[in-house]
Amino acid sequence: MNDLFLRACRREPVERPPVWMMRQAGRYLPQYRAVRERADFLTMVGTPELAVEVTLQPVDLIGVDAAIIFSDILVIPQAMGMSLSVEEGIGPRFHHPLRSPADLERLRDVVPEEGLGYVLEALRLARRELAGRVPLIGFAGAPWTLMSYMVEGSGSKSFARAKRFLVEEPRRAHELLGRLARGVGEFLAAQVGAGAQAVQLFDSWAGALGPRDFREFALPYLAEAARLARGAGAPVIAFAPGAGWALEEIADATGADVIGVDWQTDAGVARRRLAGRAVALQGNLDPCWLYAPPAAIRERTREMLEAFGGRGHIANLGHGILPDVPVANARAFVEAVREWRPA
């Protein structure tokens, strides 16, 4: 078995850093697009066999050292009773976003084996299909990010509605964030029970909050979800892009085994800032550098690897791979990591 990823999560010695990419099972792969022609996005997420098919594609085609289950962070609000659609070129949309106390009261609590059983079944199938070739990662969205979508109804540039909710209804906001933290943490623990060998928490909109609000409305609930997930015994990765200023606080509050580093944060600086903590780091090549010629991708990748230093590092992008990146360029990134050795 290729266990480089799991050893790196535990900060054990590795001959080279493992490598995988966020959104690695996605539209940049022709094989993914072929499946997508047969089924819409949510059908793919909700059909374990289709989810497993695309989960395995980057392992076979790109040579990554870990598979991440094909799913979406918004399955939790959907399981709570919110009507979700994902439209090509537009993105996810909740048809009845949270606008009133009655909307909040209608939300169901998350019961993973019931409302999210299809994700757990996909994990079981994927673990069986991988047959030990590489480890399998599960994931979920963090509470603040999920609440943002639930209140806004879709993605946003300003997050004005979500932040207005924090300002005008702080008590209700904290209640909802607490419910989400429990649901997310229990879902991640259930994913480990279904076969995930590590789990990642994505606080994708952490950067929408200033430091004081991040510490009040995001970090405690990210930490609670991570605490519940850690109880399942698998490594936990915490990734809060846009909050690189808070790496130490995120590491301390969550107790995560791995801290994701975004592309806006200098790799060497992140390494020095977290040097005294027993955490591995993951990241952080700017995804836009995958548009460069392969030779330039390899050079940038080597510079990143040297800055992180080799041990306790999982090579990744600083955000998800973009859908129009050439497959050869994604492969150049992965191959550059696989060829590199620490000095």
Q: Which pLDDT does position 90 carry in this prediction?
A: 81
- Catalytic residue check, 3: no
Place 336 in a pLDDT band, splitting at 50, 70 and 90: very high
Indicate which residue of 28, 32, 65, 72 is catalytic.
Answer: 72
Helix (H, G, I), strand (E, B) or coil at 108: coil
Q: Choosing from 65, 149, 221, 230, which is the catalytic residue?
A: 149
Q: What is the pLDDT of residues 195-240, one digit of tens each?
A: 999 999 999 999 999 999 999 999 999 999 999 999 999 999 999 9
Q: What does pLDDT average to over the chain? A: 97
Q: Give the span between the Cα atoms of 285 and 300, in whole angstroms.
A: 8
**Per the residue annotation, which of 10, 11, 27, 93 is the catalytic one?**
27
For 54, the 3-state DSSP assignment is: helix
Average pLDDT, stretch 283-291? Answer: 98
Residue 88 has pLDDT above 80, yes or no: no
pLDDT of 160 > 80? The answer is: yes
What Cα–Cα distance (Å) separates residue 72 from each residue in 43, 130, 314? 12, 21, 22
Q: Is 36 annotated as catalytic?
A: yes
Q: Is 205 left (phi over 0), alpha (psi -120 to 50) or beta?
A: alpha
The Cα angle at residue 95 between residues 94 and 97, in degrees rounded to 5: 65
Domains of the chain by start residue, with CATH: 4-339 (3.20.20.210)
pLDDT at 50: 98
Count the residues in the chain: 343
| Rounded (10°) CA dihedral 246, 251, 256, 258 | 80
Instruction: Please identify which of the residues 16, 36, 127, 273 carries the catalytic annotation.
Output: 36
Contacts of 59 by beta carbon, 8 Å cutoff, 6+ apart: 67, 130, 133, 134
CA dihedral 112, 46, 3, 274 (to 10 degrees): -70
What 8-state DSSP symbol labels residue 266?
Answer: -
User: Is the model's pLDDT at 182 over the cut of 90?
Assistant: yes
Closest CA to 341 of 11, 9, 13: 13
Phi, psi (deg, nearest 5) at residue 323: -70, -15
Hey, how many other C-beta atoms are within 10 angstroms of the C-beta on 31? 16
Place of tokens 């859908």: 323
Let me know if 149 is a catalytic residue. yes
